Amino acid sequence: MSAVEYSGAELLACAAAATLEDGRTVFVGTGLPMMAAMLAQRTHAPDLTIVFEAGTIGPQIHLLPVSVADSRAAHRAVALASMHDVMSLSQNGFIDYGFLGAAQIDGYGNLNTTVIGDWSAPAARLPGSGGANDIGSLCWRTVVIMRQSRERFVSRLDFMTTPGYLDGPGARERCGLPEGTGPYRVITQFGVFGFDGATARLGLLTLHPGITVEEVREASAFKIDGPDDPASTPEPTAEQLRILRELDPARRCLR
């Protein structure tokens, strides 16, 4: 176990940051995705270009913004553009990573953020797509951060807001989406998941400390593939925690 104490949110921020490579571009939303991108930029990916839906490109943020439209999200940005401009960057293939959340996900990485229950008389109406469909359709690699349960990891979505691998290998391309794009990682309170290249199905990559494979499989309505003895998700280092807590001193995101 780690010699330093950390919250579940801090572990998720570090796991998400680890998915990002230096010299790449990432489409970022509010909350943990923002923390992950800022942490990556401060550590292993100093030349990571952050892009916000509000139109900001290339900021170097020193304090967690309240939202992507907060003026702090534009600190030292290379451009203050528009939503049209940043969505056009995705459409033209210039955004490597896109972060998304979801209320539901299925085994092919398709996402629902629209309704729970029947569309005409839902149990709950959710925020909808926003830019989620654009991000999931056009960014090269999509990273999903969400809570995991049998009600969220479902065999069939109540509504498909954002395409993953649809119904299997090749389905995205047959629908006209760019070849080579799609879900890359899913990060939950239990572990980090990836997608098999042959089946396009979600599978377990690493378990968070203290979590068992049985807990992961019990919290999913569809079968999760992966090793019976997976690797452990690296715990946050003291340096990572120092940076995260400097970026979010009020712990709005990290508690």
45 touches 96 (CB < 8 A): no
Distance CA(241)–CA(228), nearest Å, equals 30
Residue 32 main-chain phi, psi, to 5 deg: -60, -40
Match 């290339």 to its residue by tokens: 58
Q: Which residues contact 230 (CB under 8 A, 6 or more apart)?
A: 191, 204, 205, 206, 207, 213
24 touches 212 (CB < 8 A): no
- DSSP lists the bridge partners of residue 43 as none
CA-based nearest residue to 231, from 193, 189, 188: 193
Single out the catalytic residue among 5, 10, 21, 53. 53
Distance CA(50)–CA(45), nearest Å, equals 11
57 touches 79 (CB < 8 A): yes
Q: Measure Cα distances from 21 to 16, 40, 223 in Å.
A: 11, 8, 30
- Is residue 53 annotated as a catalytic residue, yes or no? yes
Task: Give the start-end residues of each E strand in the chain.
Answer: 25-28, 49-52, 56-57, 79-80, 97-100, 104-105, 111-112, 115-117, 122-125, 141-145, 183-187, 191-195, 202-207, 231-232
**Catalytic machinery residues:** 53
